[in-house]
């Protein structure tokens, strides 16, 4: 008899996220999640399998990624899509016993990095903003190590599992790079950087953020996330990658706290190139130079589809 598992598909700035809920067999959960992301289904890039807990307003989520054969620790885009889906798809909120209230509905997600609070701001029955508290993830980045590195001759930063590089430094080393087009030569250079990164610092890690401080719209910076250049897998927006970029900017002194706060707006989204028409906002709170809080939001989140995944 075929398994029929409810799913919701949404995106944050072009980063496609799948949510599974309902009766998910525990012994097949990882298999099902990866199957949904890969051919022939190919529903999206990341997936969250959602579970009830005994705590009111707290959901457990196990997250899978298209290019990794095990669970991953965190996905900021997933939290944004989930917040939107709770309002857009009433049966999801009903299943988890969540009452949508205005002006804000608060939930929390149990993830592998810790508890991630999510605030869904609601106005006249519509989502105004989803605010994700990424503090646990940001602190884990520091626990895993934040330091300057060099990859393929390019100065960069190790921020937890992320390689974070400034676009200007890449172009200075490789003048042929065109991050606005992501042509074949550019992807080959980015692949070279990732291979050197894996050899020297973090075997198997694909997480990659590129940023610059040359905004074209209403932001302060631009970013793109070429997590797997070898396979042309480039996320136009990424919550964890935005946090990593913010930490790199602070550590390199490129942004300065004002009264202990740093607010950085990144132009992202749309196409898989540097920058974009959407905005990712990151707010960091520091005390004595130490990171105490990190909050993330994106200004374009959409629910794309609601259906059932059928598996044998």
Domain of residue 170, CATH code: 3.10.310.10
Q: Which pLDDT value is given to residue 102?
A: 97
Q: Which pLDDT value is given to residue 204?
A: 83
Q: Which residues pair with 231 in a beta bridge?
A: none
Q: Same domain for 245 and 186?
A: yes
Question: For residues 145 and 142, what is the distance between their CA atoms, to the nearest angstrom?
Answer: 5
Q: Same domain for 62 and 157?
A: no
Which range of residues forms the domain containing residue 197? 139-297
Give the total number of structural domains in the chain: 2
Best CA proximity match to 239, nearest among 304, 289, 296: 296
Q: Which pLDDT value is given to residue 202?
A: 86
Tell me, rounded to whole angstroms, the distance of Cα 19 from its chain centroid: 14
Q: Which residues of 13-48 are buried (b: 16+ CB within 10 A; e: fewer)?
A: bbbbbbbbbbebeeeebeebbbbbbeeeeebbbbbb
Backbone angles phi, psi at 280, to 5 degrees: -105, 125
Yes or no: say if 46 and 10 are a contact pair by the CB < 8 Å rule: no
Q: Which pLDDT value is given to residue 173?
A: 98
DSSP 254: S
Q: Same domain for 172 and 29?
A: no
Q: Which pLDDT value is given to residue 72?
A: 92
Does the pTM surpass 0.85? The reply is: yes
Q: Same domain for 110 and 147?
A: no
Yes or no: say if 118 and 110 are a contact pair by the CB < 8 Å rule: no
Q: Torsion angle of alpha carbons 103, 105, 106, 107, nearest 10°?
A: -170
Q: Which pLDDT value is given to residue 1?
A: 62
Yes or no: say if 272 and 236 are a contact pair by the CB < 8 Å rule: yes
In order along its 312 residues, the chain shows pLDDT tens digits of 688 999 999 999 999 999 999 999 989 999 999 999 999 989 999 999 999 999 999 999 999 999 889 999 999 999 999 999 999 999 999 999 999 999 999 999 999 999 999 999 999 999 999 999 999 999 999 999 999 999 999 999 999 999 999 999 999 999 999 999 999 999 999 999 999 999 999 888 899 999 999 999 999 999 999 999 998 899 999 999 999 999 999 999 999 999 999 999 999 999 999 999 999 999 999 998 889 999 999 999 999 999 999 987
Q: Same domain for 181 and 71?
A: no
Backbone angles phi, psi at 223, to 5 degrees: -150, 160
Q: Same domain for 64 and 126?
A: yes
Q: Same domain for 71 and 156?
A: no
């Amino acid at each position: 008899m075929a398994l029929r598992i409810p799913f919701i598909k949404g995106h944050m700035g072009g980063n496609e996220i799948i949510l599974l809920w309902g009766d998910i067999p525990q012994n097949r959960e990882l298999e099902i999640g990866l199957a949904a992301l890969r051919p022939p289904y190919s529903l999206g890039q990341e997936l969250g399998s959602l579970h009830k807990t005994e705590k009111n307003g707290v959901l457990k989520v196990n997250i899978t990624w298209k290019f990794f054969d095990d669970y991953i620790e965190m996905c900021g885009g997933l939290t944004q899509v989930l917040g939107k889906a709770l309002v857009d798809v009433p049966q999801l909120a009903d299943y988890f016993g969540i009452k949508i209230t205005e002006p804000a509905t608060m939930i929390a997600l149990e993830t592998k990095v810790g508890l991630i609070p999510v605030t869904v701001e609601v106005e006249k029955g519509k989502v105004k903003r989803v605010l994700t508290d990424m503090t646990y993830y940001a602190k884990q980045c520091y626990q895993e190590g934040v330091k300057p590195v060099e990859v393929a001759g390019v100065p960069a930063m190790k921020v937890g599992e992320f390689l974070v590089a400034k676009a200007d430094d890449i172009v200075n080393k490789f003048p042929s790079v065109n991050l606005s087009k992501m042509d074949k030569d550019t992807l080959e250079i980015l692949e070279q950087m990732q291979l050197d990164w894996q050899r020297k610092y973090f075997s198997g890690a694909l997480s990659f953020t590129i940023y610059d401080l040359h905004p074209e719209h209403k932001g302060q910076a631009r970013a793109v996330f070429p997590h797997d250049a070898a396979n042309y897998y480039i996320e136009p927006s990424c919550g964890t990658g935005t946090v990593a970029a913010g930490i790199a900017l602070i550590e390199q002194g490129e942004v300065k706290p004002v009264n202990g706060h740093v607010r950085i707006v990144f132009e992202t989204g749309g196409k898989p190139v540097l920058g974009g028409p959407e905005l990712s906002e990151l707010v960091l709170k520091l005390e004595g130079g130490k990171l105490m809080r990190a909050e993330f939001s994106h200004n374009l989140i959409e629910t794309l589809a609601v259906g059932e995944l059928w598996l044998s």
